[in-house]
Chain A
């Protein structure tokens, strides 16, 4: 049992809070006026990417109720009048559940597999939101912008995922072998 110093405590807190903070950041970024023609259109899907990426590694730090709150916040901030509030929350929760239940196909596999997994889940997410928004407002919404969003976020995944994987907090046990050093237990340096 290691000593619980202040730094260790802060470290643990930080690690636990990181996925949620990253998600909150991307939820707020959704509204940022970036003015990049295709990118800003795809911003609303980035929180879904964050949920997917962190659910792969540390789903326990992104608990369902937090996803619910974040999804509702996203819908409140983004939604126009009449749009359903909570549909993003539903999507987030389902993405997390899908990732957690299919860990063995998604974790520790070649990147291409993860990417195709994300493609599938993001497609489900986009279809879900489109369907609910169309049903809720009872209008035939042009699906082309949604498809465009989907294409952009799929293309962004290979760029963002490694970045998030770096940001993702490393547990001591997750430290790659080469950086652990060669010291054996009980051995002291020189």
Chain B
């Protein structure tokens, strides 16, 4: 009897102790999760992919009616602003004509390059069309979830394009889902070319709608309206996918670029399977990976 009472007293003491320190324990657990995430990024990656795979069917179920509703609202809005829409389209037409010129120029240049000896065409690119089933847009991330994954041939590091231009790259891949990191994300760094001058640069996102052009050899050569395209350095991206145009050239090295892709109304995107395993492995920006020798030669 006495033993049982003692046991009960001890048990209740333990219970009150746990209750008293439960907040502390939970806080410690949260910190523990953060530390584990920092120390073992592979584990976290697996957990992320698992969570994505579990959530993506639910999200897809949500995404369809939401997309339909959004389309209806957009239709109504367009109806209300037909005149402005017309003006916008005319303006866009002008812009597209400029694009056409650019395309011709690129084509010519390509022609010339093929004429050179030793030029070898890059691998053929194929496309995987995907629906965007989830936004991962917050104050800290710019990205989206796709409904295709490893089963469809998606791999980490592949380019994601829209009709207008480059949207981002694949950061994480699950069996039936993948996460895109938009070019505007703070972790996005892209090797690019300035189309007019063929100068190399790095295009970095900073979570704002515009991109920052850095590591230029000479900033002076950049003008407003210059188009920025992918350079293909690093191997995972095809050469010459348009990304954006320069909208602001300040003093120092602050060159701002407006991306062509309209991230607020993306519904379908294409994943470019370029046939080259990129050097972008886990998608972390912390360690600048050395380019593998095989890619450099190309």
Contacts and interface: CB of A to CB of B under 8 A. Distances in A.
Interface in A123-142: 129-130, 132-133, 136-137, 139, 141-142
Contacts of A71: 30
22 contacts: A28-B55, A31-B145, A32-B135, A33-B132, A35-B264, A37-B264, A41-B137, A41-B138, A71-B30, A77-B51, A77-B52, A79-B48, A81-B284, A85-B47, A86-B33, A87-B30, A89-B33, A90-B31, A93-B30, A142-B208, A145-B140, A146-B140
B283 interface: yes
A102 to B, nearest CB: 14
Contact of A33 (B55, B58, B67, B139): B67
A94 B27 contact: yes
In this complex, which of B44, B206, B265 has the most chain A Cβ atoms within 10 angstroms of its Cβ? B44
B183 interface: no
Interface residues of B, number: 56
A97 B23 CA distance: 7
Given A33-B133, A44-B138, A141 B23 contact: no
A24 to B, nearest CB: 10
A5 interface: no
Given A80-B187, A133-B140, A142-B207, A28 B59 contact: yes
Nearest to B138: A44
B138 A64 contact: no
Given A81-B171, A86-B33, A146 B139 contact: yes
A117 interface: no
B254 interface: no
A32 B62 contact: yes
A137 to B, nearest CB: 7
B139 A82 contact: no
A80 B21 CA distance: 32
B136 A136 contact: no
Contact of B33 (A35, A80, A85, A139): A85
Given A32-B135, A80-B143, A68 B186 contact: no
Given A141-B140, A141-B186, A31 B55 contact: yes
A164 interface: no
Interface of A: 28-35, 37, 40-41, 43-44, 64-65, 67-68, 71-73, 76-87, 89-90, 93-94, 97, 129-130, 132-133, 136-137, 139, 141-142, 145-146, 148-149
A86 B31 contact: yes
Q: Which of B62, B135, B185 has the most CB of A within 10 A?
A: B135
A82 B286 contact: yes
Nearest to B52: A77
Contacts of A81: 171-172, 181, 187, 282-285
Contact of B26 (A29, A65, A137, A139): A65
Interface of B: 22-23, 26-27, 29-34, 36-38, 44, 47-48, 51-52, 55, 58-59, 62-63, 66-67, 70, 132-145, 171-172, 181, 185-187, 206-208, 264-265, 282-286
A85 B37 contact: yes
| A-B interface, 7 closest residue pairs, ranked by CB to CB distance from nearest | A86-B33, A31-B134, A90-B30, A85-B37, A80-B141, A145-B139, A146-B139
A40 B137 contact: yes
Given A31-B59, A32-B59, A136-B38, A142 B141 contact: no
B44 A85 contact: yes
A183 B130 CA distance: 62
Q: Which has the most chain A C-beta neighbours within 10 Å: B66, B141, B206, B265?
A: B141
Nearest to A98: B23
Nearest to B185: A80
A141 to B, nearest CB: 6
Contacts of A139: 186
Among B62, B139, B172, B187, find the residue whose CB has the most chain A CB atoms closer than 10 A.
B139
